[in-house]
Each structure stands twice: as C-alpha cells, then as structure tokens.
C-alpha cells in the first residue's frame, strides 16, 4: 500500500499522516463545541432595524401642533447638518415628540449617535423651557425587550408601588445579564403648589413673576474654588427647598407668602397608563438584556426568580407574575423547529447517499461533513462577535443538502479510481487531486453569489438579514470543502475495501428487496417510452409533410405574415399613444399596455416566422429525413436505475450531437414557456408577518371622559370579551388605558397562525360594537418604515397642516371604498377637540398686552409650570406649580383669566376669542414636509403591491394645490420595485463573478458560457415550481433565485471540467462529451438530490407565524435544481460543442488576420 514515487504534494502528505489529520479534526470539533456552548442566543441579529436612531422628547401638557412647531422643527433643523444623513421623520403628539433619523448603510452608528447628541445640545437653547427629558435610542435586537410581563395585584395601594420599585424591580435588575427593567402603571410621587385662583386675583399676583422667582431661587450649582492655608475648597451654593414649610413660607413680596395664595401637597399621579390583566389591577413591565448575555440563560434565571417570588413571605398573596412574551421561548421553539427541519433534511440527504453509495461506512463518512461544517460555522460566528439566532439557523438549514456535495464528488472520484484497480492510498490521492480544483471553484461560485447580496443594496434590514443568513451558509460551505479535500481522502483510504462476509450477505438480501421497486419502475417506464417513440415518429412524419406543402408556397405565405405583422403593429400605435398620455398623468392602464405588448409581440412573431419560411425551411427539406429508429427493447434492461439514466442520457446526447440545431430549438421552446408562470405569478413585498399570538383592539374615546370613566367603559368591553374566552381560546386579556382611550390585547400562549387571527378579528368586528362617543380599531398601528405583509400605508404631503388634514380625511373616505382594503385609519380620527385661542392684536396692543404674555398666562393656568425638582430625603421629586384643577375646569374661568401688564390686569376675554376645532392627535413630518399617514389592512398579502397601486390611483381624484403631493415614492409598490431592482443587479453581478471564476478554471472566456447556459433553465424550473405549487413569490424567493445561480453552475463546472479533461485522452470530441457526461451523471444526481431532499422540509413546512417565510426561497432552489439537473446533462454539453467550435473559428480568424499568420488547415 505504498505510494508511487510520482505521488507528491499536499494530498499525498496528508494521506500518509492520518494521526496528525485526526488530531487536527478533533481539535476543531472541540473548539466548535466550546463556541456552541458560549455563543449568545438571540431572536434576530443586531442591526436588523438598520442604521436608524430614534429621539424621544418628553414635553408634558403640550399639544401636537405646539410640539410640531416648537420642538420637531427646531431639532430637525439641527439634524439636517448630520453627515451621511438619509431621512428624517418625526411624529409630534400630545406630550411628546418622536424623531427617527436614518443614515446610509455604511455609517458608523457609534459616531452617528455621538453626533446626534451634539446636535440635540445645540438645539436645547431654542426649545421651550417646559421640555422635560430627551432620550436617544439605537435600534437593534439588543434594544428589543426580551420579556413582557404583568404584575397582578389585589388592590392598588402605595405599598404595592413601594414593593415593585424597591423589592421586585431591584431583584430583577440584579439578575446576571439584565440591563434594564421598566414597570408601567405605577403612581409617581410629585410635589404640587396648588394656587387658589380667588386669592391670586385678590392679591393681584403676577404668576409669571412668581414662576420666574421660584426657578431662580430653587437651585444648586458650583461657585468655584477657595484656597485657605494651603488647602483648596470647592465652593457650592445649595438653595434647594428641602421641606414643605420652606416652600409655604417662600416670600412673594412684603407681607405676602406663598401659603397665603396656595397650598403645598404631595400628590400621586399616573406616570404613563394604568393596566389590568384578566380584569385584575396590574402593572405592566418589560425587561431588556445586556448585548452579550445569552437570551435563554437570562430567561431561565428570571423564571427561577419569579418562582422564588411565589414563596417569598413579603410577596405571597400580594403580587403575582404573569409572563406574556419571552424571546427566549420563541428562540427555543423556532430553533427547535428549524433543528427538526434540518434533521429531516439531513436524514433525507443521507438516505439518498446510501441509495447511491450502498456502503454504510462510506455514507457515514460523507455525512460527517454536515455536522462538522455546521459546527465550525457557528464557531466562526462566535469568534467574530456574532450571535446564534433564527437567521443563522435558517442559513445552516438551507445549506444542509449542499454540505455533502463536495464530499460526494470526492468520494465518487476515489471510488472510481479504486474500481480501475488502484490501491487505497493511490486512489485517495489521485481521486482528490482529480476533482480538487473543480469543486474548489464550484464552491466559490456558491459563495460569491452572496457577496452582492450582503454588500450591495440600500435596504439595511434586507442587507443585515442576508448577512446573518448568508455568512454562516458560506462559511459552512467552505468548511465542507475543507473537510472533503483534507479529511475525507485520509479516511477513505482506510475504509474503502472489500466487504466482510456478513456485510456481503446483508447487501445481497437488501439487493433482492430493492429489485421489487426497480422492476415496478421498469414497467412504468415502458409505457411512456413507447408513447414517446411513437410521438417522435408521428412528429417526424408531420414535419416532413408540412415542409413538402409549405416550401413551394413560402413566398406568398411570408408576404402574408409580414402584412399581418404590420397591421398588428399599426393597431398598437393608438394604444401606445394612450399609454404615454395616461402615464404622463400618473394613471396606469393595464388594458392599453396589454394591447401595445400584444401588437408588438405579434409583429415580432410574424417576422421570425417569415424568415424561417424563407431561409430555414428549404434547407431542412433538402436534408435526408430518416425516421427515428425504434429501440429493440422498450423495457429497460438490467436492475440499476442509475444505469438506465446513464443510458438514456447517452442516447439523448448522441441524438443532440447529430441534430444540434433541432436540439437548440427544442431547448429554446422549453425556455419560452417561462412566460406562462411569469404572467400569472403574484409577488408580495418583503416584510414580516403580523404578530400571530395576539389581537389588539384600540379604543378611542372623546376627550370628555375622565380616567375613572375610561376605566368603567373599558370594563364593559372586558366583560364582553371574557364571555368569549373559552370559545376563542385566548389565555390572557391585557388592558392598558389613559384619558382618551386605551388598548385591549387578547394573547394566546401558542401561536394559532395568521389565518385564525384574521378570523378572530372578523368575528370581533361583528360582535364587539362601539359605544356612543367611542371607536374601535382592530389593528395595531405600524409606522411607514415598518415592512409588514398585512398592512399598507398611504401618505399625503404638504406645507399647511390644516389643509393637509382636510385632504387626508377625504383620502380616508376614498380608500375605504377600494376593494381589498380594510381598517383604513389615521391618527386624526382619534384627535380630541381643541380649544383654540384667537388673539385680537389691535385690542391687545390697546391694553398693553403681548401675545406671549397672554399665551404664557393661559399655559400656566391649564397645565402649570415645572420648577426645579424638589429634594426629598432620598430622591428628587417633580415640583409643579399650577392652579387647582377644580377651579379652572370651565371655559368661564379661562375667559376671565387675568393677564398682567406693566400697569394693570386685563381679563383674557377682553382681547381674544375662544373657538373649538378638531386638532391632530399626531402630526408627522418626513424630510421637512408635513405628512398625513393612512394605514390599511390588506385582504391578501400577495396583493399588497396591487392594492397600493389601486389606492394611489383612486387618490388621484383629490384636487390638491401646488405644494401638496402623494407619497408614492415611499409606498410598498415603490419599495418592492427598489428591492427587485437591487436584487436584479445582485443577480447580474453574481453571474459576472461566476464567469470570472470559471475563466480561471478553463483558461478560456468562451467555455464558461457553456456552463452559464444552465442558469436560464434553472430559473425556468424555479418559476414553474412556484407557479404549480401556488407559493407566493416575494423578495426572499428572489434571493432564492440568486442562490440557485450559484448552486446550479456547480454541476456544470464539474461536468465541463471532466469533458475538458477527457479531450486529452481522445481525439474525437463527441466521444469525449459522451464519456465525460457518463462519468458525471452519478455525482451530479447525488449532489442535486441531496440538496433537493435537504430543502424539502423547509419548502413543504408551514409558514413561520413570526419572522420571515422562507418557503418561496426553498421552493425556488429545489424546483430550479431539479429542472436544471436535466438540462445540465443535456444542454451544457451541447453548448460546450458550440463554444468549442466558436473558439476555433475565432482563433483561426485572428491567426489568419495577424501579420505572418496562416489559415488553420
């Protein structure tokens, strides 16, 4: 078993050192196990939301219009100076402003966040003094709460607030891996200075001066440094008020103290909103983890802590914990489902290998590349700072069937060398060397198709998703190549050999059992084979008869065809003009477009038919027409299905080499059938499915409901829904409410699916009727920048908010009449009535009153003023001065409100008028323009783009003035067009990269084209499979087409490489083609079937209730690979001969035209 002297190089060295190679392999596996145990688990990768920062500004008591004018505009003006800025959008609502800033994909988000904070500080001096806090959030999976939970209580008391904040919250924060805990619904302590309006009026007190004095005198600040005796002291002035008595005795002027006109009280106010869970008072909480923590481990630690709460004497019977959402649970379930899919796919792939190899040890040796490659890919993710998430597992699951491809080719090559009589070591070395370069470049072609996907494109979410899925897949493929070329030859040299007697007996028994299905298959083949040959003979006779009749009449028939084509083209002219006119108006016309396309196609078909009649038909008729020979036996001989396939492929290639033109026409005819699925295929935009474990009902109420009345009204809906609990099957009902409305969420423990949720919403719409003064909305509010498959958004833009609101409400009415759209809503519908103050400037000037003084007086009367915070014993509390709410509740009080001037006091009604108008609950801006956003639910996600186009077409009826427009450039249709354009560019770039790699292998620029011919047929198979299975095509499915390009060329490379090598052993090109194809039928079928069967569980599985649906991707790759395998074994050898002839022709022409050149003999 010694190596021949000529055997030198890497493979020979490795084969001679099995111990060293084995130790290296075991070391890598141990390293992989360590990484697998330590890699962080997440639901989605960091950065899935893209390069976006959100700024939240708290401005208590302010209206949406005030926030838009005085906060959003001021901050946006500073943000426009940020580098790499893409878009700015803002939402101004009552009491807060949210500003979203998007950056280009290449931006450094750490630096961008620092720059953003700098711009906020620049804007602060120009913001109202009543602005409270400004928060900055970076969007990433680490920012998403890992757990939502409820704290159920028997009665809302101060003790409960204390237990939550000082006991429960602190113990949760102490759990290793927890970064932040937020609890909503607690009552916040504050100190209130309640002014008595009658006393203030009697004292003729200027509230503005009082507020300014309290702000000046309640402070703490450093004053500098003092040096005494060589010692340095820091001088600090602390004038903060530390007791109620100190506040009450604050001197306003001589003889008048604050307690004479106001009372100082400690009050509890609703910090955000109140919560009930299953009808019981509760607090709502969310928990975030540290970015490097393991999600599942933190979740288990938290659940253990919650169990401890149940036995804690301080908490038993007082507070209970109920978890509504746990990312870790979703991760465990999702990864479990994907793991099951991967195991099924891997098992089917191994079964296919066993059927072909028929050797258990050889099959297990090849199958070892699956877990080894996946484990080392996870190792790469861990040591490069990545995480193990759903997308990572999806990429590995997608590549399960492809991980054995390289090992299959290497093992088959080694086995073939053994069958030719070589020894085990010689066969291992020569077999690996024979296919090493081919499979290396074949693997690289699959890897390079992901480069444009990962590094191109402007959609950050799509790019991050592809990177999280594609990088582990590429690493696993590269590792599988490493396993196939380094470890497999070493192992195969020691396991390949003669079977033992026991194994031989088992193989004989299994062979007898397998004869039964083989004979059944042979019988099934006989009937279609006979029909096929009969059809060939009938077709031959029909063609000869047609040529005999058509050739004599070719000239008049050609003239008639050309005339018909000209007539069709002429009829398409008016339709073309109509299309141009309607497109100019922005209105699409499907019928006119079809008329134009139909006329153009008819004209082109007539010209082609006429040319075929004139030039091709006479030559074809003159050729001797030999009828196809009937095979001697219709029933295939032998007991090997593989041998039958090889023989059939040889017969097809033999006929193809003799009739290359006819074979080319047949292939083009098959390729032209792609127009059928393309014409009937629907495509959905990229996005996630709606949450399928809960139904959200939004309740909007008129503004005259108090918080207690809102609670009572929501309790009525809770009672009605409680009666449906058993029938609907929901586990929890969570209610959160505040003045003006609330939300009711029905939550399921399992995930029933999107269809059941839609049926539940439809039923609730019928049975849950809104009460007077209220409105129910059965959908969650989503933003314009959120990619969703269930919702679409429409946008109007303008410069005047009042006019824009009018057009927006008209647009809502129009869209509600568009079939296919439901739950058409806008934020203005929930807007409260606003009291608007109109100041008469001339009258105000007469009384010596400024508009600013009047507005400030009214602001203090309605919502008070926030003073510097009160220093309590162990914390700071908000200090607010305001009128007693009971005293300023009516409009009469507002009209009689005193406004102080330099010399007198003037009632507000003397120079102003008060009127009621509906004000926007929210005002949105997009890149400096005010926008009016409308949300609607679609009846079918596959019709999303169609319904967006229909909606905007209907909105063309709006007659808006100059400066107002429709936001069609940011619609779902526009995003889908942008996605398809980016993916098309990625597809073209992938083809170019594959071409360049093949040029390295073949040392030719023409021969790689023969391999590329398999790509159109792969796309043909993918689209037909999508169409026949009824799968909705989406952007993820388009990604599958790009992946398919890299997969299908692998077989073509291996095939052409073998044919190219066979040319060196025979002068006959046809024999080289037939021999090379026969040698590669087995490995091509094995690699194709292992990949297809590995994808079947993903393609046939149920759609993911959360996250992204990968069925279209798996269906495209599997279906395209099945069809392309047939065409690879048929069309690629044909294209090789054509390119070979073209190479010689061009080479001879160049040599003859060069100086001193000679013609090729």
pLDDT > 50? residue 578: no
pLDDT tens string 802-854: 778 788 888 888 888 888 887 787 765 555 556 667 777 777 777 777 777 77
pLDDT digits (tens, 9 = 90+) for 83-116: 888 888 888 887 788 888 887 766 677 788 888 8
Percent of the chain with pLDDT over 90: 0
Q: Do domains 51-138 and 691-779 have the same CATH topology?
A: yes
> Between 1069 and 41, whose confidence is greater?
1069
The H-assigned helical ranges of 612-686 are 617-622, 641-658, 660-672, 675-680
If residue 698 lies in a helix (H) or strand (E), which one and from where to where?
A: strand 694-701
What average pLDDT does this structure show over 291-317? 82
pLDDT at 1003: 78
pLDDT band at 8 (very low <50, low <70, confident <90, very high): low
Residue with more model confidence, 618 or 122: 122
Fold designation for 51-138 = Alpha-Beta Plaits (3.30.70)
* Section 572-601 average pLDDT: 47
pLDDT above 70: residue 748: yes
Residue 656 pLDDT exceeds 60 = yes
Looking at the chain, the whole-number percentage of residues with pLDDT higher than 70 is 77
Q: What is the DSSP string of 496-539?
A: -SPPPHHHHHHHHHHHHHHHHHHHHHHHHHHHHHHHHHHHHHHH
Instruction: Please say if the pLDDT value at position 497 is more than 70.
Output: no
Question: Across residues 890-907, what is the average pLDDT?
Answer: 67
56: left (phi over 0), alpha (psi -120 to 50) or beta: beta
Residue 396 has a pLDDT of: 81
Residue of 1135, 1141, 1112 lying closest to 1017 (CA atoms): 1135
More confident residue, 812 or 140: 812
971 — pLDDT class (breaks 50, 70, 90)? low
Name the least confident of 331-335, 426-430, 742-746, 1044-1048. Answer: 331-335
Q: Which candidate, 319, 317, 444, 428, places its Cα nearest to that of 365?
A: 428
Q: With a cut of 80, say whether residue 1001 has pLDDT above it.
A: no
Rounded-to-integer distance, Cα 411 and Cα 830, Å: 69
Instruction: Take residue 935 and report the two structure tokens written for it.
Output: 């949300």
| Most trustworthy range by pLDDT among 384-393, 582-591, 967-976 | 384-393
Q: Where are the domains of the chain?
A: 1-24+366-494, 51-138, 206-260+833-918, 644-672+971-1161, 691-779
> Which of 650, 439, 659 is closest to 1077 using CA atoms?
650
CA distance 474 to 443: 9
691-779 CATH fold? Alpha-Beta Plaits (3.30.70)
Give the other-Cβ count within 10 Å of 1006's Cβ. Answer: 17
Determine the average pLDDT of the residues in 1136-1143.
Answer: 84
299 — pLDDT class (breaks 50, 70, 90): confident
- Nearest to residue 711, comparing CAs of 273, 322, 161, 286? 273
* Selection from 191, 189, 188 nearest residue 244 by Cα: 191
Contact 437, 1001 (CB under 8 A): yes
Given a cut of 80, is residue 528 above it in pLDDT? no
**Higher pLDDT among residues 752 and 599, named by residue:** 752
Three-state SS for 891-933 is HHHHHCCEEECCCCEEEHHHCEEEEEEECCCEEEEECCEEEEE
Q: Which residue has the higher pLDDT, 206 or 948?
A: 948
Alpha helices in 9-151 (DSSP H): 10-15, 18-38, 64-67, 73-79, 109-123
Question: Worst-scoring range by mean pLDDT, 524-538, 801-815, 1088-1102?
Answer: 524-538
CATH class assigned to 206-260+833-918: alpha beta
pLDDT tier, 585 (very low <50, low <70, confident <90, very high otherwise):
very low
Q: Per-residue pLDDT tens for 152-205?
A: 887 777 777 777 877 888 888 888 888 888 887 777 778 888 888 778 778 877
User: What is the enclosing helix (H) or strand (E) of 580?
Assistant: helix 554-584
CA distances from 67 to 59, 90, 469, 801, 991 (A): 8, 10, 42, 13, 52
pLDDT band at 889 (very low <50, low <70, confident <90, very high): very low
Q: Which residues pair with 280 in a beta bridge?
A: 277
For the CA atoms of 128, 131, 134, 139, the dihedral, rounded to the nearest 10 degrees, stands at -90
| pLDDT in the model for residue 141 | 42
3-class secondary structure for 978-1024? Answer: HHHHHHHHHHHHHHHHHHHHHHHHHCCCCHHHHHHCHHHHHHHHHHH
Q: Provide the strand spans (E) within 133-242.
A: 134-138, 147-153, 178-184, 187-195, 220-228, 231-238
Between CA 640 and CA 519 the distance in angstroms is: 10
Closest CA to 654 of 1073, 1011, 1063, 1141: 1073
Beta bridge partners of 275: 282, 736
Q: Given this model, what pLDDT does residue 916 score?
A: 60
The average pLDDT across 229-241 equals: 75
Q: How confident is the model at residue 590, as a pLDDT?
A: 39
- The two three-digit tokens of residue 993, written as one number: 């990269």
* Range scoring the smallest mean pLDDT among 619-628, 679-688, 874-883: 679-688
Residue 317, CA atoms < 13 Å, CB-side half-sphere: 2
Residue 3 pLDDT grade (very low, low, confident, very high; cuts 50, 70, 90): very low
313 burial via Cβ count (<10 Å: 0-12, 13-18, 19+): exposed
Q: Which of 402, 482, 415, 496 is nearest to 21 (CA)?
A: 482
Are 873 and 183 in contact by the 8 Å Cβ rule? The answer is no
Per-residue pLDDT band for 572 (boundaries 50, 70, 90) equals low
Which residues are within 8 A (CB) of 567 and not within 5 positions of it... i.e. 6 or more apart? none
Q: At what angle do helices 944-955 and 972-1002 cross, to 10 degrees?
A: 140
CATH superfamily of 644-672+971-1161: Multidrug efflux transporter AcrB transmembrane domain (1.20.1640.10)
The class level of CATH for 1-24+366-494 reads: mainly alpha
What pairs with residue 628 in β-bridges? none
- Is residue 1159 over pLDDT 60? no
Task: Compute the distance between CA of residue 403 and CA of residue 478 in angstroms, rounded to an integer.
Answer: 9
CA pair distance 629, 623, nearest whole angstrom: 17
pLDDT at residue 996 greater than cutoff 60: yes
Q: Are 708 and 1001 in contact (CB under 8 A)?
A: no
Residue range 54-79, pLDDT digits in tens: 888 888 767 777 888 889 889 988 89
Average pLDDT, the chain: 76
Which of these, 1068, 1066, 1140, 1146, lies nearest to 1160 by C-alpha position?
Answer: 1146
């Amino acid at each position: 078993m010694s190596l021949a002297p000529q055997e030198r190089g890497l493979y020979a060295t490795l084969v001679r050192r099995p111990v060293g190679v084995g130790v290296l392999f075991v070391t890598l596996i141990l390293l992989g196990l360590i990484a697998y145990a330590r890699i962080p688990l997440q639901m989605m990768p960091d950065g899935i939301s893209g390069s976006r920062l959100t700024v939240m500004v708290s401005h208590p008591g302010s209206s949406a219009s005030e926030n838009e004018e005085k906060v959003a505009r001021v901050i946006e003006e500073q943000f426009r100076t940020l580098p790499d800025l893409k878009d700015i959008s803002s939402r101004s609502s009552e009491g807060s402003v949210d500003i979203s800033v998007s950056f280009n994909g290449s931006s450094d988000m750490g630096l961008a966040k620092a720059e953003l904070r700098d711009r906020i500080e620049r804007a602060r001096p120009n913001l109202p003094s009543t602005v409270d806090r400004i928060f900055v959030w970076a969007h990433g999976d680490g920012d998403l709460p890992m757990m939502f939970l409820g704290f159920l209580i028997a009665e809302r008391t101060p003790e409960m607030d204390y237990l939550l904040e000082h006991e429960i919250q602190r113990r949760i924060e102490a759990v290793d891996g927890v970064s932040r805990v937020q609890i909503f619904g607690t009552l916040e302590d504050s100190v209130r200075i309640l002014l008595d309006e009658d006393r203030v009026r009697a004292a003729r007190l200027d509230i503005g001066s009082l507020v300014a004095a309290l702000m000046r005198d309640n402070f703490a600040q450093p004053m500098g440094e003092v040096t005494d005796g060589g010692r340095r002291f820091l001088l600090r002035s602390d004038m903060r008020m530390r007791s109620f008595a100190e506040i009450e005795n604050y001197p306003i002027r001589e003889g008048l103290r604050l307690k004479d006109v106001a009372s100082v009280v400690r009050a509890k106010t609703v910090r955000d909103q109140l919560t009930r869970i299953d009808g019981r008072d509760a607090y709502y909480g969310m928990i975030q983890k540290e970015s490097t923590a393991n999600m599942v481990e933190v979740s288990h630690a938290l659940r253990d802590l919650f169990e401890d709460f149940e036995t804690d004497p301080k908490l038993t019977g007082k507070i209970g914990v109920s978890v509504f959402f746990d990312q870790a649970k979703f991760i465990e379930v999702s990864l479990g489902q994907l793991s099951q899919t991967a195991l099924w796919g891997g098992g089917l792939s191994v079964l296919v290998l066993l059927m072909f190899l028929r050797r258990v040890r050889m099959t297990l040796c090849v199958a070892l590349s699956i877990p080894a490659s996946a484990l080392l890919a996870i190792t790469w993710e861990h040591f490069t700072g990545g995480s193990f998430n759903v997308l990572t597992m999806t990429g590995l699951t997608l590549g399960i069937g492809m991980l054995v491809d390289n090992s299959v080719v290497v093992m088959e090559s080694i086995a073939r060398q053994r069958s030719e009589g070589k020894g085990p070591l010689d066969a291992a070395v020569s077999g690996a060397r024979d296919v090493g370069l081919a499979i290396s470049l074949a693997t690289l072609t699959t890897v390079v198709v992901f480069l444009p996907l990962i590094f191109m494109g402007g959609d950050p979410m799509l790019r991050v998703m592809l990177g999280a899925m594609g990088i582990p897949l590429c690493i696993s493929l590269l590792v599988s190549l490493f396993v196939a070329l380094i470890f497999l030859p070493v192992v195969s040299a020691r396991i390949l050999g003669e079977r033992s007697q026991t194994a031989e007996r088992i193989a004989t028994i299994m062979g007898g059992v397998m004869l039964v299905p083989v004979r059944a298959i042979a019988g099934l083949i006989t009937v279609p084979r006979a029909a096929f040959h009969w059809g060939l003979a009938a077709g031959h006779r029909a063609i000869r008869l047609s040529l005999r009749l058509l050739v004599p009449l070719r000239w008049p028939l050609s003239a008639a065809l050309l005339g018909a084509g000209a007539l069709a083209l002429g009829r398409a002219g008016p339709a073309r003009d109509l299309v141009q006119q309607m497109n100019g108006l922005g209105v699409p016309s499907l019928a006119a477009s079809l008329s134009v396309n139909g006329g153009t196609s008819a004209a082109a078909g007539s010209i082609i038919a006429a040319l075929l009649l004139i030039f091709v038909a006479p030559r074809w008729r003159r050729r001797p027409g030999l009828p196809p020979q009937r095979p001697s036996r219709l029933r295939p001989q032998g007991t090997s299905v593989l041998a039958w396939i090889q023989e059939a492929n040889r017969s097809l290639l033999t006929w193809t080499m003799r009739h290359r033109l006819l074979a080319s026409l047949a292939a083009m005819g098959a390729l032209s059938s792609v127009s059928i699925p393309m014409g009937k295929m629907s495509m959905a935009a990229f996005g996630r499915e709606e949450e399928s474990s809960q139904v959200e009902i939004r309740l909007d109420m008129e503004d005259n409901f108090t918080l207690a009345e809102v609670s009572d009204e929501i309790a009525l809906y809770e009672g009605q829904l409680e009666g449906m609990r058993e029938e609907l099957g929901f586990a929890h009902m969570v209610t959160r409410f505040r003045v003006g409305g609330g939300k009711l969420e029905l939550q399921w423990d399992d995930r029933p699916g999107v269809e059941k949720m839609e049926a539940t919403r439809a039923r609730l719409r019928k049975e849950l009727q809104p009460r007077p003064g209220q409105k129910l909305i059965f959908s969650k509010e989503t933003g314009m920048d959120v990619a969703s498959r269930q919702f679409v958004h429409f946008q109007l833009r303008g410069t005047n908010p009042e006019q824009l609101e009018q057009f927006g409400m008209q647009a809502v009415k129009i869209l509600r009449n568009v079939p296919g759209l439901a739950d058409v809503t806008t934020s203005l519908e929930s807007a409260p009535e606003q009291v608007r103050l109109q100041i008469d400037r001339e009258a105000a000037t007469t009384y010596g009153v400024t508009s600013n003084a009047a507005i400030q007086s009214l602001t203090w009367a309605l919502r008070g003023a926030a003073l510097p915070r009160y220093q309590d014993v162990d914390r700071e509390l908000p200090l607010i001065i305001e009128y007693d709410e009971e005293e300023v509740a009516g409009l009469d009080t507002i009209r009689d409100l005193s406004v102080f001037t330099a010399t007198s006091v003037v009632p507000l009604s003397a120079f102003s008028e008060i009127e009621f108008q509906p004000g926007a609950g929210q005002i949105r801006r997009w890149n400096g323009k005010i926008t009016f956003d409308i949300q609607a639910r679609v009846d079918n996600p596959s019709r999303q783009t169609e319904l967006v186009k229909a909606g905007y077409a209907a909105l063309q009826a709006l007659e808006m003035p100059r400066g107002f427009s429709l936001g069609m450039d940011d619609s779902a249709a526009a995003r889908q067009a942008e996605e398809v354009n980016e993916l098309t560019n990625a597809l073209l770039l992938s083809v170019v990269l594959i071409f360049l790699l093949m040029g390295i292998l073949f040392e030719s620029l023409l021969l790689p084209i023969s391999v590329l011919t398999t790509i159109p047929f792969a796309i043909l198979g993918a689209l037909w499979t999508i169409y026949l299975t009824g799968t909705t095509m989406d952007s993820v499915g388009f990604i599958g087409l790009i992946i398919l390009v890299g997969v299908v060329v692998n077989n073509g490379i291996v095939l052409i490489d073998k044919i190219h090598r066979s040319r060196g052993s025979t002068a006959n090109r046809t024999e080289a083609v037939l021999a090379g194809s026969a040698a590669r039928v087995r490995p091509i079928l094995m690699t194709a079937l292992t990949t297809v069967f590995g994808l079947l569980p993903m393609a046939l599985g149920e759609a993911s209730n959360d996250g992204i649906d990968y069925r279209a991707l798996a269906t495209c790759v599997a279906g395209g690979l099945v069809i392309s395998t047939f065409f690879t074994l048929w069309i690629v050898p044909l294209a090789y001969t054509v390119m070979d002839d073209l190479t010689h022709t061009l080479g001879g022409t160049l040599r003859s035209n060069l100086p001193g050149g000679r013609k090729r003999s």
